[in-house]
Chains A and B, each alone.
Chain A
Amino acid sequence: MRLLLNRLGQTAIVLFGVTVVTFFMMHSAPGHPLQANPELRLDPTAVERWLELQELDGPLPAQYISWLSRMFRGDFGMSLIYSRPVKELALERLPATLLLTVPAFLLALGLAIICGTWAALRQGGFADRLLGLGTLAGLSLPSFWLGIILMMLFSYGYPWLPAAGMRTAEDSSVSDILTHLILPLTMLIVGSFSYYVRYVRYAVSDVLSQDFIRIARARGFTEIYIVFRHVLPNASLPIVTVAALSLPLLFTGALVAEYVFSWPGIGRWIIISTMARDYPVIMAVNLSTAALVALSNLLADLLYLLIDPRLRIKA
């Protein structure tokens, strides 16, 4: 418990630091939202009035304090570009992102655990070598390129699947959304599967070489029993670490996939807002990402305790 409080305290300090650094760095960069886009039509006097109305003309420390006090009340402010609350804009886009990232994460991790374990059990076999080659390819292919190839193949060469968007219309059926989901999902899975599978294979083969596995085999347990009872629980620590660290990515979106397949997720919005110097959005995004990273680290630590009784005693 004390450990937990300690960690939470540390987290709070880190988050505060993140907001300070982000705020002052962002404002020290040249320009403001109405200057960031070369093609905007502007009237200089109107821009001055706009800066006044948006309260962007005051001294920076005062702006920071007013931001901080609003943030404590749960108000992330209004987007300067869209003239709408940041929270509303984020919540509008989060479902689309989660629809893409959560299945991709679960499928990639699930497949990686299965294939990685399989490969570790048959080290040096054909399946293992094939997987090694495949994951190497999966890791080296730029995901952007893979996306374009998928699109060329299945939207153009064989026009079965749509190349852009999440649905055809407002009242689209589930199957319509699934059809739109296939290509971006595939693109995401290939990348992260290749990444996870190497960890799984390494962790499992590490455990397999331990003495207690040899003993278990000597006692005549079935291979399946050994894998589920002894190997996977012992191999799960590094896997949990990797998985927990990728949790924040589920929320910040799969930027490349969102761009290539025009997916209406949060990642695209974050990039557009950053380019456009939409200060309140940048602040909110950085703060929540930092919080998510801290939380998933905490989660990983708690999972360790859950998985490994030895750590519980130590703690």
Chain B
Amino acid sequence: MLWRKIFVSIMITFSFFFVYGCQKYRDATDLQILHVAVPAGPITLNPLFARDAISLEAASLLHPQLLGTNPNSLEVEPRLFASWELQADNQTYLLSLREGLRWSDGTPLTANDVAFTLLLICHADYTGWLYPQLSFIDGADEYRKTRHSPYAQGAIPGIRVIDEHTIAIRLKQVHAPFLSYLTFPPLPAHKLQNVKVAEMEAHHNLRNVAVGAGPYLLTAWRPDEFLHVRANPDYYLGEPAIAEIFYRFIPNIEAQVIELLAGKLDLLPTAVKVEDVEMLAADRQIRVHKNNRLVYDYIAINQKKENTPLKDRRVRQALAMLLDKEELVANLLLGYAEVLHGPLLPIHFAYDSDFSQDKGSLPAARKLLLQAGYPQIKLKMIINSGNIVRENVALLFREQAAQVGIDVQIHALEWEAFLAALTNGDYDLAILGRGTDADPDLSYHWHSLGAGNRTAYANEQVDRLLEEGAAVRDREMRTELYRQSQALIVADVPIIWLYTRLAIHAASADLQGFVAHPESLFYNVHLWSLVGREERP
């Protein structure tokens, strides 16, 4: 008897599951709801303290930028700031907000909010990454060094609120790229001015975005599941056509692709694997979008070790000749990358597509090594394990190097160990990636005093050219100056440039208006629409 009871109850349980399983589950994709997948959830929605790309992307749905950048030219575009003018001193910007801006709680968004946000970023207790960009403001350094109050209060001489809509920002020196730094959103002063800056990062008002002014408003944030947002009817650029967005966190990339093919996702941004592109492009329901990004991969050369042959420029030149980058891009990255010979990226206005390194050859490299007096060299190359493309680059490099008498030993290290080796200088060569600014100003990595100049590269001539480049406003002159500095930098072979990978997005064919932007995924999201789908009943 009991056996039968157990058996029956198990059968009932299973048939219950089976019935639910076979019923095709609710197809949410018939509605004006966009389903986007990303491999990890945002850590915070606080736009000034977000440090990872996904948090910044998610925050951009809820917060409007002060200024935007054009997806093709990366030139500054009006956003909350409708217009700006540079005063005669070439150092003071007069920026005007649009009329009638409001936070979602109805409070007007004014120049005071902007000033509050600027003070917050310059405050000593601000731990986000934006400060170095605002350090060009007159008096910002002094304000950051002297901590008058735990709140974002006080005054910076270079920041002056003129009226409700206008703010003047004076720089301590002429700095052409400055406007391109103002792409962050303002925060609501009326909600946050009584919060200590040190407590701002953990503040719930910022995490839950109680008050925003972006294209979307937060409906729900389920950790490790999804972010659900609804269109902001009062968005200053017009109410978005797509009524809701589900931003789903799916760490398994295969599952992302399967859900896209099954029609349950509408957009896989940035992280589509090159191997999947062909298969996705063959599907008529799917469109593949590509765009250039502001990142590149390179081989770092450690010249700091004592008696290292790498101090000799001829040796570095020989190393730079070893890889056939065209072949590498074609075979390893299936063409979804552009070969790079110098620090300017194809997307920068100063980029020179004719610029290339001497291709050289193995015999030429061998000759250089002999001239330098190093017929045999042993080098230690470190890579972070798990990055298949970089592992393959390392193998190719070792193969080529062996032919000219260089013995390259590859160490694939776990990320932390890799970082430790980098910091301690325990390597000769390392394959790395890095991001660059939207402006072609190369100072961050290549000026001897640049904050990101980790290789301690120093060339007086380059310093001078870069300073000049930031100090003039004329675009042609700047282009010329940056091209000159690029040529000088490349001649010194401080690193070996490899390639800049394309971002590949796969989207439902229904999605209209999506523009692949190198910096922001949700560029002009209010103009996107899902053609052929109903409004939510």
A residues with CB within 8 A of B: 29-31, 34-47, 49-50, 53, 78, 81-84, 89, 92-93, 96, 107, 110-111, 114, 148, 151-152, 154-156, 159-170, 175-176, 178-179, 182, 224, 228, 259-262, 264-265, 268-269, 272, 277
B331 CB within 8 Å of chain A? no
Interface residues of B in 408-453 (CB under 8 A from A): 415-417, 419-420, 433, 435, 451
Determine which of A41, A84, A156 lies in contact with B202 in the assembled complex, contact meaning CB atoms within 8 Å. Answer: A84
Interface residues of B in 1-47 (CB under 8 A from A): 2-3, 6, 10, 13, 17, 20-26, 28, 37, 40, 43-44
Q: Determine whether the beta carbon of A170 is less than 8 Å from that of B228.
A: yes
Determine which of B131, B262, B416, B433 lies in contact with A155 in the assembled complex, contact meaning CB atoms within 8 Å. Answer: B262
Identify the closest chain B residue to A264 (Cβ). Answer: B224
Q: Determine whether the beta carbon of A259 is less than 8 Å from that of B416.
A: no
Whole-angstrom CA separation of A167 from B224 in the bound complex? 12
Which of chain B's residues have a CB closer than 8 A to the CB of A228?
2
Q: Determine whether the beta carbon of A156 is less than 8 Å from that of B132.
A: no
Interface residues of B in 113-133 (CB under 8 A from A): 124-132
Say whether, besides A29-B416, A170-B228, A182-B17, A160 and B24 are in contact (CB < 8 Å).
yes
Given A38-B419, A159-B24, A176-B26, 8 further pairs, Cβ under 8 A:
A43-B451, A49-B124, A53-B125, A162-B259, A163-B252, A163-B258, A164-B256, A170-B222
Q: Determine whether the beta carbon of A37 is less than 8 Å from that of B202.
A: no
Which of chain A's residues have a CB closer than 8 A to the CB of B262?
155-156, 159, 163
Closest Cβ of chain A to B154, distance in Å, is: 17
B393 CB within 8 Å of chain A? no
Whole-angstrom CA separation of A123 from B246 in the bound complex? 54
B residues with CB within 8 A of A: 2-3, 6, 10, 13, 17, 20-26, 28, 37, 40, 43-44, 51-53, 124-132, 198, 201-202, 207, 219-220, 222-226, 228, 246, 248-252, 254-256, 258-259, 261-262, 264, 384, 415-417, 419-420, 433, 435, 451
Q: Determine whether the beta carbon of B258 is less than 8 Å from that of A160.
A: no
Which of chain B's residues have a CB closer than 8 A to the CB of A156?
258, 261-262
Determine which of B223, B225, B384 lies in contact with A38 in the assembled complex, contact meaning CB atoms within 8 Å. Answer: B384
Say whether, besides A170-B222, A228-B2, A43 and B256 are in contact (CB < 8 Å).
no
Whole-angstrom CA separation of A207 from B397 in the bound complex? 65
Which of chain B's residues have a CB closer than 8 A to the CB of A110?
10
Q: Determine whether the beta carbon of B44 is less than 8 Å from that of A114.
A: no
Whole-angstrom CA separation of A93 from B26 in the bound complex? 25
User: What are 18 A-B pairs at a CB distance below 8 A?
Assistant: A30-B420, A35-B416, A37-B51, A43-B128, A43-B130, A49-B126, A148-B254, A151-B258, A155-B259, A160-B25, A162-B259, A164-B252, A164-B256, A165-B250, A166-B225, A262-B250, A262-B252, A272-B40
Q: Determine whether the beta carbon of B202 is less than 8 Å from that of A39.
A: no
Say whether, besides A43-B131, A47-B127, A50-B127, A170 and B219 are in contact (CB < 8 Å).
yes
Say whether, besides A38-B384, A40-B52, A151 and B24 are in contact (CB < 8 Å).
no
Q: Determine whether the beta carbon of B228 is less than 8 Å from that of A169.
A: yes
Closest Cβ of chain A to B423, distance in Å, is: 8
Closest Cβ of chain B to A165, distance in Å, is: 6
Identify the closest chain B residue to A81 (Cβ). Answer: B43
Closest Cβ of chain A to B119, distance in Å, is: 15
Closest Cβ of chain A to B390, distance in Å, is: 12
Which of chain B's residues have a CB closer than 8 A to the CB of A92?
223
Determine which of B126, B254, B259, B435 lies in contact with A46 in the assembled complex, contact meaning CB atoms within 8 Å. Answer: B126
Q: Determine whether the beta carbon of A178 is less than 8 Å from that of B17.
A: yes
Closest Cβ of chain B to A276, distance in Å, is: 9
Which of chain A's residues have a CB closer than 8 A to the CB of B53?
39
Closest Cβ of chain B to A9, distance in Å, is: 37
Q: Determine whether the beta carbon of B384 is less than 8 Å from that of A224.
A: no
Which of chain A's residues have a CB closer than 8 A to the CB of B419?
30-31, 35, 38
Q: Determine whether the beta carbon of A264 is less than 8 Å from that of B258.
A: no
Identify the closest chain A residue to B127 (Cβ). Answer: A50
Determine which of B22, B129, B251, B261 lies in contact with A41 in the assembled complex, contact meaning CB atoms within 8 Å. Answer: B129
Q: Determine whether the beta carbon of B259 is less than 8 Å from that of A164.
A: yes
Which of chain B's residues have a CB closer than 8 A to the CB of A148?
254
Determine which of B26, B259, B415 lies in contact with A163 in the assembled complex, contact meaning CB atoms within 8 Å. Answer: B259
Q: Determine whether the beta carbon of B225 is less than 8 Å from that of A40.
A: no
Which of chain A's residues have a CB closer than 8 A to the CB of B26?
168, 176
Q: Determine whether the beta carbon of B28 is less than 8 Å from that of A168.
A: yes
Whole-angstrom CA separation of A166 from B25 in the bound complex? 13
Which of chain B's residues have a CB closer than 8 A to the CB of A262?
248-252, 255
Whole-angstrom CA separation of A268 from B255 in the bound complex? 16
Which of chain A's residues have a CB closer than 8 A to the CB of B252?
163-164, 259-262
Closest Cβ of chain B to A7, distance in Å, is: 35
Whole-angstrom CA separation of A53 from B196 in the bound complex? 12
Q: Determine whether the beta carbon of B254 is less than 8 Å from that of A43.
A: no
Closest Cβ of chain A to B457, distance in Å, is: 17
Q: Determine whether the beta carbon of A161 is less than 8 Å from that of B43.
A: no
Identify the closest chain B residue to A178 (Cβ). Answer: B20
Q: Determine whether the beta carbon of A160 is less than 8 Å from that of B22.
A: yes
Which of chain A's residues have a CB closer than 8 A to the CB of B220?
170
Q: Determine whether the beta carbon of B416 is less than 8 Å from that of A162.
A: no
Which of chain B's residues have a CB closer than 8 A to the CB of A47?
127
Say whether, besides A164-B255, A164-B259, A264-B223, A42 and B51 are in contact (CB < 8 Å).
yes
Determine which of A37, A165, A176 lies in contact with B52 in the assembled complex, contact meaning CB atoms within 8 Å. Answer: A37
Identify the closest chain A residue to B225 (Cβ). Answer: A264
Q: Determine whether the beta carbon of B222 is less than 8 Å from that of A264.
A: yes
Which of chain B's residues have a CB closer than 8 A to the CB of A269?
223-224
- Name the residue among B40, B222, B246 with the largest chain A CB count within 10 angstroms: B222
Whole-angstrom CA separation of A182 from B10 in the bound complex? 15
Whole-angstrom CA separation of A209 from B259 in the bound complex? 53
Identify the closest chain A residue to B6 (Cβ). Answer: A114
Which of chain A's residues have a CB closer than 8 A to the CB of B415?
36, 38
Whole-angstrom CA separation of A8 from B366 in the bound complex? 71
Q: Determine whether the beta carbon of A53 is less than 8 Å from that of B44.
A: no
Which of chain A's residues have a CB closer than 8 A to the CB of B37?
164
Q: Determine whether the beta carbon of B250 is less than 8 Å from that of A93.
A: no
Q: Determine whether the beta carbon of A152 is less than 8 Å from that of B420.
A: no
Q: Determine whether the beta carbon of B21 is less than 8 Å from that of A182.
A: yes
Whole-angstrom CA separation of A269 from B22 in the bound complex? 31
8 nearest interchain CB pairs?
Answer: A264-B224, A83-B202, A50-B127, A30-B420, A41-B129, A164-B255, A40-B51, A163-B255
Q: Determine whether the beta carbon of B223 is less than 8 Å from that of A93.
A: yes
Whole-angstrom CA separation of A58 from B194 in the bound complex? 29
Q: Determine whether the beta carbon of B223 is less than 8 Å from that of A34.
A: no
Identify the closest chain A residue to B129 (Cβ). Answer: A41
Q: Determine whether the beta carbon of B51 is less than 8 Å from that of A83.
A: no
Which of chain A's residues have a CB closer than 8 A to the CB of B44?
82-83
Q: Determine whether the beta carbon of B17 is less than 8 Å from that of A261.
A: no
Which of chain B's residues have a CB closer than 8 A to the CB of A39?
52-53
Closest Cβ of chain B to A3, distance in Å, is: 35
Say whether, besides A36-B416, A151-B254, A260-B255, A43 and B132 are in contact (CB < 8 Å).
yes
Which of chain A's residues have a CB closer than 8 A to the CB of B132?
43
Whole-angstrom CA separation of A44 from B40 in the bound complex? 25
Q: Determine whether the beta carbon of A224 is less than 8 Å from that of B2.
A: yes
Which of chain B's residues have a CB closer than 8 A to the CB of A81?
43
Q: Determine whether the beta carbon of B25 is less than 8 Å from that of A93.
A: no
- Name the residue among A78, A83, A152, A228 with the largest chain B CB count within 10 angstroms: A83
